[in-house]
Chains A and B, each alone.
Chain A
Amino acid sequence: MIQFQDVTKTYSRSHTHALQKVSFMINQGEFVYVTGHSGAGKSTLLSLILRRIQPSEGIVYILGQDLSKLKENKLPLLRRKLGMVFQDHRLLSHLCAIDNVIFVLRATGEKGDLEGRALRALRQVGLAHKRKAFPVELSLGEQQRVAIARALVTNPPVLLCDEPTGNLDPDTSWEVLELLNDVNLKGTTVLVATHSRELVDQLRKRTLVLRNGRVVRDDEKGGYSL
């Protein structure tokens, strides 16, 4: 489902080797942590999956597609299959919770009962009762839940999370983690980039550890170890 083959990414301006000869494979339905210190290459790895950047060497396959051969006009179709959750949630402040979710459906050209689908996604994250609340009226945990609902509303086979609990307290982090686990149990492949020891130790899943741009550990049993 997600495969990196000897992927190297060098930022030419700063001559930084963000990733070096990274290879791994993530199968459908897996829950995988990508951990490492700041600057280890976690964000670069997610950016490569989203094809926001291209590798300097190697090949990235997503859902069987070699991203280097993906034409520019096909990029939106790929991204519709990759739900994305950010540390800072990136909700649109002028839209209420349900409109933030509907926004994605509109942007991807979905037709039909958009409000019904958005409401179901909010119900999935336990926030149907706050559908009319604006981001500023929600707690950080609730904002992140809306962001997860937004990422899930198009039923993507893959959910990518970049430090999803980075701004949250431990209890709220656990709630978000449980939610991600529920999503995974329903068949969605979940990839969580995090440097949070608590998160990785709390819910043990396969863990890829990055250090200085290299995969130094790929452990099926999980647990935080750098």
Chain B
Amino acid sequence: MYALQQAMRAVRANWVASVSTIATMILSLTVLAGFSLLTLNLNAWLSRLQSELELSAYLSDSADEAVLLGTIKAWPEVSSVDYIPKERAITDLGMDFPSISLATDLVGNPLPNRLDLKVVDPRLVNTVSSKLKNLSGINEVQDGSDTAQTFVAINESVQVIGSILIIVLLTSSLFAIVNSIRAAITARAREIEVMRLVGATREFIRAPFLIEGFLLGLISACVALVLIIPGYQFVLFRLSDRLQFLPLVRDLWLLIRVTGLLFALALLVGIVGSAISISQHLREEI
């Protein structure tokens, strides 16, 4: 109780340093949340892409589809494979383009038999495509590898840039906390000196500063969430109609995990920052 009172007094007394620290942490946490949500959405897109991305292997007339099906089904990269005979292929095409049936009447069915495959991960499209091309009885392979690779590259770039930015911002937050607590220590130097000389334990001396760091982290996380949650809802509202093909993340459990991560990081940075500051001070004094 005493430590909490002292911590709150310090936050009020050093309000300029406290506000500056909180602002820095809010910025860091907001960027962190923004990148986390962006990554979640990109992963959702990847999953959608994964479920929709198909490779088509066009067979020669002499190909033994039963052997090919058996071989391909054994590949771990492939989640499903279907044999599409050319009769079904032309029927499917005729449903999309009715005039095709007229041409078919004149020249016959020009389409080959084919295999439609789905892969377990879009990143494996190129691998599966190469393996298909090496099989005898397959004339041509069509895949969406360019689209998939571009998408994977975008996702990985966002993750790398986001990680760098988050590390830089969290480090600056940590040092903001260290400086803020250092200001509080300087303001209470006489009190600390008295405590040390009368035989106060380190824990007693440290507690108010650790609580102050915790409070700064807690306030920052709360304010950041007040900004992030409505902000994300606004983005969902604005984009969901315009980009209907994109599966925007609305999973409550995932959002709770992002929120929990933010709180945990904010509190950790707050406590670690203040622990660094007070430990330095106590060590210097001995």
User: Which residues of A pack against B, CB within 8 Å?
Assistant: 50, 52, 72-73, 75-82, 84, 90, 92, 103-104, 106-109, 150, 154
CB distance from A1 to the nearest CB of B (A): 17
- Assess the B198–A104 pair: CB atoms within 8 A: yes
Q: Which residues of the partner chain B approach A72 to less than 8 Å between Cβ atoms? A: 286
Q: Which residues of the partner chain B approach A84 to less than 8 Å between Cβ atoms? A: 197-198
Is B2 part of the binding interface, using a Cβ–Cβ cutoff of 8 Å? Answer: yes
Known A50-B197, A103-B194, A104-B194; further 12 A-B contacts with Cβ < 8 A:
A52-B286, A72-B286, A73-B202, A75-B199, A76-B201, A77-B199, A79-B199, A81-B199, A104-B198, A108-B199, A109-B204, A150-B198
- Assess the B200–A107 pair: CB atoms within 8 A: yes
Q: Which residues of the partner chain B approach A81 to less than 8 Å between Cβ atoms? A: 199
| 20 residue pairs from A and B, CB less than 8 Å apart | A73-B202, A76-B200, A76-B202, A79-B196, A79-B198, A80-B198, A82-B199, A84-B198, A90-B190, A90-B193, A92-B191, A104-B194, A104-B198, A106-B2, A107-B194, A107-B195, A107-B198, A107-B199, A107-B200, A108-B199
- With CB as the reference atom, state the residue of chain A lying closest to B204: A107
- Assess the B190–A92 pair: CB atoms within 8 A: yes
- With CB as the reference atom, state the residue of chain B lying closest to A147: B194
| One of A76, A90, A103, A150 near B199 (C-beta < 8 A) | A76
CB distance from A30 to the nearest CB of B (A): 22
- With CB as the reference atom, state the residue of chain B lying closest to A54: B286
Q: How far is the CA of A77 from the CA of B204 in the complex (A)?
A: 13
Interface string of B47-67 (1 = CB under 8 A from A): 000000000000000000000
For the residues of B in contact with A, the DSSP-based class is helix
- With CB as the reference atom, state the residue of chain A lying closest to B195: A107
CB distance from A48 to the nearest CB of B (A): 13
Q: How far is the CA of A72 from the CA of B200 in the complex (A)?
A: 12
- With CB as the reference atom, state the residue of chain A lying closest to B205: A107
User: Which residues of B pack against A, CB within 8 Å?
Assistant: 2, 190-191, 193-202, 204, 285-286
Q: Which residues of the partner chain B approach A104 to less than 8 Å between Cβ atoms? A: 194, 198
- Assess the B198–A92 pair: CB atoms within 8 A: no
| One of B2, B198, B202, B204 near A154 (C-beta < 8 A) | B198
Q: Which 9 A-B pairs have the closest CB atoms?
A: A80-B199, A79-B199, A107-B200, A76-B199, A104-B198, A107-B195, A76-B201, A84-B197, A108-B199
Q: How far is the CA of A199 from the CA of B202 in the complex (A)?
A: 37
Q: How far is the CA of A154 from the CA of B200 in the complex (A)?
A: 12
Q: How far is the CA of A39 from the CA of B240 in the complex (A)?
A: 78
Q: How far is the CA of A92 from the CA of B189 in the complex (A)?
A: 11
CB distance from B135 to the nearest CB of A (A): 72
Q: How far is the CA of A108 from the CA of B205 in the complex (A)?
A: 10
Q: Which residues of the partner chain B approach A150 to less than 8 Å between Cβ atoms? A: 198
Q: Which residues of the partner chain B approach A92 to less than 8 Å between Cβ atoms? A: 190-191, 194
- Assess the A79–B194 pair: CB atoms within 8 A: no
Q: Which residues of the partner chain B approach A50 to less than 8 Å between Cβ atoms? A: 197
CB distance from B67 to the nearest CB of A (A): 76
Q: How far is the CA of A223 from the CA of B34 in the complex (A)?
A: 77
Q: Which of A50, A78, A79, A80 has the most CB of B within 10 A?
A: A79
Q: Which residues of the partner chain B approach A73 to less than 8 Å between Cβ atoms? A: 202
- With CB as the reference atom, state the residue of chain A lying closest to B191: A92
- Assess the A109–B197 pair: CB atoms within 8 A: no
CB distance from B152 to the nearest CB of A (A): 54
| One of A77, A79, A103, A106 near B197 (C-beta < 8 A) | A79
Q: Which residues of the partner chain A approach B198 to less than 8 Å between Cβ atoms? A: 79-80, 84, 104, 107-108, 150, 154
CB distance from B207 to the nearest CB of A (A): 11
CB distance from A110 to the nearest CB of B (A): 11
CB distance from B283 to the nearest CB of A (A): 10
- With CB as the reference atom, state the residue of chain B lying closest to A77: B199
Q: How far is the CA of A108 from the CA of B201 in the complex (A)?
A: 7
Q: How far is the CA of A52 from the CA of B198 in the complex (A)?
A: 12
CB distance from B23 to the nearest CB of A (A): 28
CB distance from B280 to the nearest CB of A (A): 16
CB distance from B33 to the nearest CB of A (A): 39
CB distance from A171 to the nearest CB of B (A): 28
Q: Which residues of the partner chain A approach B204 to less than 8 Å between Cβ atoms? A: 107, 109
Q: How far is the CA of A160 from the CA of B84 in the complex (A)?
A: 98
Q: How far is the CA of A198 from the CA of B286 in the complex (A)?
A: 34
Q: How far is the CA of A84 from the CA of B194 in the complex (A)?
A: 9
CB distance from A188 to the nearest CB of B (A): 16
Q: How far is the CA of A150 from the CA of B194 in the complex (A)?
A: 10
Q: How far is the CA of A154 from the CA of B197 in the complex (A)?
A: 13
Q: How far is the CA of A107 from the CA of B2 in the complex (A)?
A: 10
Q: Which of B2, B190, B197, B286 has the most CB of A within 10 A?
A: B197
Q: Which residues of the partner chain B approach A154 to less than 8 Å between Cβ atoms? A: 198-199
CB distance from B73 to the nearest CB of A (A): 67
